[in-house]
């Protein structure tokens, strides 16, 4: 695994000082190692992207669309290997790893279609003033740095790579050091498609590599998905250059269950919202607001559902939930279990790390959690659900919105008019009504408040990598 960096169309050995250990979280043991990229190699990657930019942005939209379709086809051809890697390095159950791959394929196909439909670079703009004409051009932003997280590798990269390439940008991708292997497929696919050298570059490393990329003066834009603490550092780096940034950060999202909701359906939606990917989602609906009239019926069924989930190693058994992806995350979640005990919270299910090999914790439910509890206000990034009761629709909206985050929310109600009304009142970027968290490439992704800046997916994802230029001409 020494040649783990893809720079200027070539695989090269890492020249950094860090050795990255890649772990199987179900065993708590490493299974691969690779050397990080050096700062000089980050420079080389940015220089390669800069050199490739003029020719790449001059390609036709239909040609770029062809490459994107090729990425989708090649991902499909590597299906079993990529699914297995997601299971082994992330600890994802098979059905989740399959959905991840399908999501990545759909993303490349979608942006291939958008690229093929891009208007000509010149569009006339009618002016009220006589004696002038004006036209507008959509141009690529330029060279972009893409920094992606460990919880949805392959997927988050596709969300950034596909629209950036469709727009005519060249890119430097930095995967997470926790899950660096699955993204190697993008470099392999670039080779298979004869993608022009320098259009896609991949550098692996830890925080030092990310800092070298985000601070690089050769970038025209940064796109980052990850924690708020790192996101603020990325934003400071971008501000020093006065360049645009897209940030998809944390969440502490609410799921609101009204008393007219079917109890069994509500339990399914709640469980999916907190245990998918072992709760390691910025969109995890970790705050449950349940109306008084249904709470006594719902909470015991929810407790039983969480206790009956099959938790284990996805490579050797059929499971509903795998391990946490890293030891650091396992220790973090365990610290919140300790905090819950210190705060005297009522634990209905779980609340402990599991006594077995690997980084497993139990799906957890706390009831009647005070609003000032750390577990109610802070993002845990694990399968830890906190519940509170409410009386009225107005109270539910106020408590759901009482957060420094604003990424997503879910509303569960048989009264669709009320559900739509509540959805409109929630201060978030995406709301589901009576559903699991189904994410479609045609819709936008991103949040309000502390959950980030900008949007990914849909046409908004493409426009994030486009620059608008107007040309005005005097006819006199």
Percent over 90 (pLDDT), the chain: 95
Q: Are 326 and 22 in contact (CB under 8 A)?
A: no
**pLDDT (0 to 100) of residue 123:** 86
| 242 a catalytic residue | no
Respond yes or no: is residue 282 known to be catalytic: yes
**What is the pLDDT averaged over residues 216-245?**
94
pLDDT value, residue 1: 52
Catalytic residue among 177, 183, 248, 399: 248
| Residue 149 backbone phi and psi in degrees, to 5 | -95, 180
Q: Are the CB atoms for 390 and 401 separated by under 8 Å?
A: no
Q: Where are the domains of the chain?
A: 5-249+451-474, 254-441
Summarize pLDDT for 39-67 with one digit per residue, the tens: 999 999 999 999 999 999 999 999 999 99
pLDDT, residue 118, reads 87
Q: Say which residues have a Cβ less than 8 Å from residue 255's Cβ, sequence separation at least 6.
A: 269, 270, 273, 285, 287, 288, 289, 409, 410, 411, 412
Dump pLDDT digits (tens) for 166-208. Answer: 999 999 999 999 999 999 999 999 999 999 999 999 999 999 9
Chain segment 270-322, per-residue pLDDT in tens: 999 999 999 999 999 999 999 999 999 999 999 999 999 999 999 999 999 99
For the cut 60, the answer to whether the pLDDT of residue 249 exceeds it is yes
Strands 19-24 and 29-35: antiparallel
pLDDT attached to residue 235: 92
Q: Residues 74, 201, 464, 52: is their CA dihedral positive or negative?
A: negative
Rounded to whole angstroms, the Cα distance separating 408 from 249 reads: 12
Q: Render pLDDT for 425-469 as a digit per residue (tens, 0 to 9).
A: 999 999 999 999 999 999 999 999 999 999 999 999 999 999 999
Which class is domain 254-441? alpha beta
Q: What tokens appear for 409 in the block?
A: 């929310």
The first and second tokens of residue 41, run together, are: 């190699």
The CATH architecture to which 5-249+451-474 belongs is 3-Layer(aba) Sandwich (3.40)
Structure tokens belonging to residue 115: 């690229």
pLDDT over 90 (residue 121): no
Whether 254-441 and 5-249+451-474 are alike in CATH topology: the answer is no
Closest among 310, 293, 305, 295 to 268, alpha carbons compared: 305
Which of 96, 183, 261, 282 is labelled catalytic? Answer: 282
- pLDDT value of residue 122: 80
Is 291 within 8 Å of 259 (Cβ atoms)?
Answer: yes
CB within 8 A of 59, min separation 6: which ones?
168
Q: Residue 2's pLDDT is what?
A: 54
Two structure tokens written together for 263: 């109890």
Distance CA 327, CA 309 (A): 22
CB-count exposure of residue 237 (10 Å: 0-12, 13-18, 19+): buried
Average predicted confidence (pLDDT) for the chain: 96
Q: What is the pLDDT of residues 322-360, one digit of tens each?
A: 999 999 999 999 999 999 999 999 999 999 999 999 999
């Amino acid at each position: 695994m020494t040649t783990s960096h893809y720079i200027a169309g070539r695989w090269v050995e890492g020249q950094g000082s860090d050795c990255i250990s890649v772990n199987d979280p179900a065993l708590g043991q490493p299974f691969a190692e690779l050397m990080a990229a050096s700062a000089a190699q980050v420079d080389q990657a940015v220089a390669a992207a800069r050199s490739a930019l003029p020719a790449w942005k001059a390609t036709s939209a239909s040609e770029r669309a062809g490459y994107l379709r090729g990425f989708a086809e090649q991902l499909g051809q590597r299906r079993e290997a990529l699914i297995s890697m997601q299971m082994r390095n992330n600890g994802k159950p098979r059905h989740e790893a399959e959905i991840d791959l399908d999501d990545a394929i759909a993303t490349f196909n979608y942006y291939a279609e958008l690229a093929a439909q891009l208007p000509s670079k010149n569009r006339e703009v009618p002016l009220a003033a006589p004696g002038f004409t004006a036209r507008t051009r959509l141009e690529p932003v330029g060279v972009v740095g893409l920094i992606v997280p460990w919880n949805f590798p392959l997927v988050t990269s596709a969300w950034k790579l596909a629209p950036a390439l469709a727009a005519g940008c060249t890119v430097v991708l930095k995967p997470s050091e926790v899950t660096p292997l699955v993204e190697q497929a993008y470099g392999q696919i670039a080779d298979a498609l004869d993608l022009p050298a320098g259009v896609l570059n991949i550098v692996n490393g830890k925080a030092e590599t990310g800092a070298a990329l985000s601070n690089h003066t050769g970038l025209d834009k940064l796109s980052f998905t990850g924690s708020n603490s790192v996101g603020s550092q990325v934003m400071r780096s971008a501000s020093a250059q006065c360049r645009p940034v897209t940030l998809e950060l944390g969440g502490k999202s609410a799921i609101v269950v009204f008393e007219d909701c079917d109890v069994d359906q509500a339990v399914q939606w709640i469980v999916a919202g907190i245990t998918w990917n072992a709760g390691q989602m910025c969109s995890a609906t970790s705050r449950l607001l349940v109306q008084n009239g249904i709470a006594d019926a719902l909470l015991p069924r929810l407790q039983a559902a969480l206790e009956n989930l099959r938790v284990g190693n996805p490579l050797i058994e059929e499971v509903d939930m795998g391990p946490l992806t890293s030891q650091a995350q396992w220790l973090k979640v365990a610290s919140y279990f300790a905090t819950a005990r210190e705060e005297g919270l009522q634990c209905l299910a779980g609340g402990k790390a599991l006594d077995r090999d690997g980084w497993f914790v139990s799906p957890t439910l706390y009831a009647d959690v005070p609003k000032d509890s750390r577990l109610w206000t802070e993002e845990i990034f694990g399968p830890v659900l906190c519940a509170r009761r409410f009386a009225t629709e107005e109270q539910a909206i106020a408590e759901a919105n009482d957060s420094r985050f604003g990424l997503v929310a879910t509303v569960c109600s048989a009264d669709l008019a009320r559900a739509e009304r509540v959805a409109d009142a929630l201060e978030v970027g995406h709301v589901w009504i009576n559903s699991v968290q189904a994410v479609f490439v045609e819709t936008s992704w991103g949040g309000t408040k502390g959950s980030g800046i900008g949007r990914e997916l849909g046409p908004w994802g493409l426009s994030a990598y486009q620059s608008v230029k107007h040309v005005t001409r005097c006819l006199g």
